[in-house]
């Protein structure tokens, strides 16, 4: 502790010499710095830490589906920026996306898909200077080049092995989500040659571990939870006996009460995380607001996970908080104080416009710059607004917001230009790549 304080004093003394006291307002040079920095930041090859690359008719893109919900202003298909995206990526010749004009875009994409095959999505990455990106998908697609796309698979379905009629009937979102979790669990069973869930809980846990190991062998670099869509992210700490009793009682077909189901899930969630530590398989957790009509923001608040993230039993597990906890992004950055916790900014840069996303990034950069990572959350919303356009929007928004945040920090005397560029490399590439021990670049 003492050494840490001393080294901090050293850094403070150095920066005080270099730049004087930090100022509360950017100076008139901020525009100039921005213009100077942007082309340098555009040249940094990106690692995209969270995305769902897919053609719009590919059901394997996610382990869940979007029920009709309320989209934020910028996420609607009326967003004029999508025209700019289509122009930049495909040379789209019109000024709007009217159904008549949009046909051009659908046709252009179909032609390129035919012509370029499994280079189609690599071409999109090339246009945006993304070196490599995560494909967070139910299963990997053969049209994604494995040199450019690395798989992150979903791990939630192991928490729903029982009769889910009560779970489904909670609301119309769950009517959509829960059957897809059942489908996912069956696919893992198929993969592992398990025709019926074992009567014995220890055997069930072995099946779970085997699936994780095999997914890792197939190239999976991390497991992802989107559990916040299906239940609260407050996890209790039940004993093995409790989970075992519930499993034995309900695996045969009876319907568990909500309390019983949650207790069982709390145990399995912690088991999966422990396995993430054993297998050196980082754990990605959806940690922000979500789509749908019944998403419960207070029950999914990123701070609910503090007991997990700060539990010394999981200090060997690397956690990536996907979407950086938005709208609790200010609280979220303090969770990254733990050495094994990282934030991913995907989706936040699309929900917010760059003027406001800049403020989120600035807070993060001013707190734990080495713990924040970039992602697009690219997703094929429909034929017109595809994964392609959302890649573009994520990259453009983040680069400009990042440049603006750093330009202000330089202008206010917080960091030097060299330090700022190092932070940019960290956020866009190095911080995330460092997590995966040579498996990505
Ligand atoms: Zn996502």
pLDDT tens readout for residues 19-72 = 589 999 999 999 999 999 999 999 999 999 999 999 999 989 887 777 767 788
Ligand 1 centre from 50 Cα, in Å? 6
Crossing angle (nearest 10°) for helices 120-128 and 81-90:
110
Q: What values do phi and psi take at 320, rounded to 5?
A: -120, 115
Ligand 1 centre from 135 Cα, in Å? 9
Q: Are the C-beta atoms of residues 133 and 125 closer than 8 Å to each other?
A: yes
Ligand 1 centre from 418 Cα, in Å? 32
The mean pLDDT value for 328-340 works out to 98
Residues contacting residue 17 through CB under 8 Å, at least 6 positions apart: none
Residue 330: is its pLDDT beyond 70?
A: yes
Confidence at 235, pLDDT banded by 50, 70, 90: very high
Give the pair of three-digit tokens for residue 130: 């993304």
Q: What is the pLDDT of residues 113-138, one digit of tens each?
A: 999 999 999 999 999 999 999 999 99
Write down the pLDDT at residue 4: 53
* C-alpha span between 192 and 5 (Å, rounded): 52
Write down the pLDDT at residue 44: 98
- Cis? peptide before 327, omega within 30° of 0: yes
Ligand 1 centre from 422 Cα, in Å? 27
Write down the pLDDT at residue 64: 76
Q: What is the pLDDT of residues 354-402, one digit of tens each?
A: 999 999 999 999 999 999 999 999 999 888 889 999 999 999 999 999 9
Q: What is the pLDDT of residues 148-199, one digit of tens each?
A: 999 999 999 999 999 999 999 999 999 999 999 999 999 999 999 999 999 9
Ligand 1 centre from 250 Cα, in Å? 32
The mean pLDDT value for 270-297 works out to 96
Ligand 1 centre from 402 Cα, in Å? 21
Region class of 292: left (phi > 0), else alpha (psi between -120 and 50), else beta = left
Ligand 1 centre from 129 Cα, in Å? 20
Q: What is the pLDDT of residues 97-116, one digit of tens each?
A: 999 999 999 999 999 999 99
Write down the pLDDT at residue 13: 46
Ligand 1 centre from 347 Cα, in Å? 7
Mean residue pLDDT across the chain = 94
Ligand 1 centre from 423 Cα, in Å? 24
Write down the pLDDT at residue 18: 52
Ligand 1 centre from 43 Cα, in Å? 25
Ligand 1 centre from 319 Cα, in Å? 16
Ligand 1 centre from 205 Cα, in Å? 27
DSSP string for 187-249: HHHHHTT-SS--SSHHHHHHHHHHHHHHHHHTT--EEEE-GGGTS-S------HHHHHHHHHH
Confidence at 7, pLDDT banded by 50, 70, 90: low
What's the first-to-final CA gap in the chain, in angstroms?
34
Ligand 1 centre from 241 Cα, in Å? 35
Write down the pLDDT at residue 409: 98
Confidence at 16, pLDDT banded by 50, 70, 90: very low
Ligand 1 centre from 328 Cα, in Å? 17
Ligand 1 centre from 349 Cα, in Å? 13
Ligand 1 centre from 7 Cα, in Å? 38
Write down the pLDDT at residue 40: 98
Write down the pLDDT at residue 65: 76
Q: What is the pTM of this model?
A: 0.94
Give the pair of three-digit tokens for residue 259: 């309390």
Confidence at 77, pLDDT banded by 50, 70, 90: confident
Q: Are the C-beta atoms of residues 267 and 328 closer than 8 Å to each other?
A: no
Confidence at 411, pLDDT banded by 50, 70, 90: very high
Select the more confidently predicted residue: 273 or 11: 273
Ligand 1 centre from 97 Cα, in Å? 25
Give the pair of three-digit tokens for residue 40: 């340098």
The mean pLDDT value for 88-103 works out to 96
Task: Decide the pairing of beta strands 222-225 and 283-286.
Answer: parallel
The mean pLDDT value for 304-329 works out to 98
Residue 12: is its pLDDT beyond 60?
A: no
Least confident of 57-71, 163-177, 244-258, 406-420: 57-71
Ligand 1 centre from 52 Cα, in Å? 6
Write down the pLDDT at residue 17: 44
Confidence at 2, pLDDT banded by 50, 70, 90: very low
Write down the pLDDT at residue 327: 97
Ligand 1 centre from 154 Cα, in Å? 11
The mean pLDDT value for 408-437 works out to 97
Residue 1: is its pLDDT beyond 90?
A: no
Ligand 1 centre from 286 Cα, in Å? 8
Ligand 1 centre from 32 Cα, in Å? 35
């Amino acid at each position: 502790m003492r050494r840490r304080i001393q080294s901090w004093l050293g850094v403070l003394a150095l920066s005080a010499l270099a730049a004087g006291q930090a100022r509360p307002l950017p100076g008139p040079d901020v525009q100039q710095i921005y213009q100077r920095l942007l082309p340098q930041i555009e040249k940094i090859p990106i690692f995209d830490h969270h995305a769902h690359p897919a053609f719009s008719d590919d059901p394997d893109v996610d382990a869940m589906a979007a029920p009709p919900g309320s989209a934020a202003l910028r996420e609607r298909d009326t967003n004029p920026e999508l025209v700019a995206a289509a122009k930049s990526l495909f040379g789209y010749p019109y000024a709007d996306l009217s159904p008549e004009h949009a046909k051009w875009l659908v046709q252009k994409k179909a032609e390129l898909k035919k012509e370029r095959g499994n280079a189609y999505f690599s071409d999109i990455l090339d246009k945006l200077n993304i070196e490599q990106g995560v494909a967070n998908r139910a299963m990997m697609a053969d049209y994604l080049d494995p040199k450019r796309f690395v798989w992150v698979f979903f791990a939630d379905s192991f928490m729903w092995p029982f009769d889910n009629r009560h779970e489904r009937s909670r609301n119309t979102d769950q009517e959509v989500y829960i059957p897809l979790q059942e489908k996912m669990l069956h696919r893992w069973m198929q993969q592992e040659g398990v025709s019926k869930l074992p009567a014995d809980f220890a055997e069930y846990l072995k099946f779970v571990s085997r699936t994780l190991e095999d997914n890792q062998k197939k190239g999976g670099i991390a497991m992802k939870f989107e559990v916040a869509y299906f239940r609260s992210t407050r996890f209790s700490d039940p004993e093995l006996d409790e989970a075992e009793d519930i499993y034995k009682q309900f695996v045969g077909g009876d319907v568990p009460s909500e309390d019983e189901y949650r207790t069982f899930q709390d145990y399995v969630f912690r088991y999966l995380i422990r396995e993430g530590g054993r297998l050196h398989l980082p754990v990605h957790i959806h940690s922000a607001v979500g789509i749908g009509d019944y998403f419960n923001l207070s029950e999914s608040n990123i701070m609910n996970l503090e007991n997990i993230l700060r539990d010394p039993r999981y200090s060997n597990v690397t956690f990536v908080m996907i979407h950086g906890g938005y709208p609790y992004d200010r609280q979220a950055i303090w969770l990254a104080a733990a050495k094994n916790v990282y934030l991913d900014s995907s989706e936040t840069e699309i929900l917010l416009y760059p003027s406001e996303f800049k403020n989120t990034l600035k807070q993060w950069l001013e707190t734990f710059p080495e713990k924040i990572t970039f992602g697009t959350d690219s997703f094929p919303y429909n034929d017109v607004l595809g994964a392609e356009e959302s890649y573009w929007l994520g990259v453009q928004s983040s680069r400009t917001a990042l440049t603006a945040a750093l330009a202000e920090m330089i202008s206010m005397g917080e960091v030097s230009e060299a330090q700022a560029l190092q932070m940019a490399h960290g956020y866009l590439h190095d911080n995330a790549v460092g997590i995966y021990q040579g498996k990505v670049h």
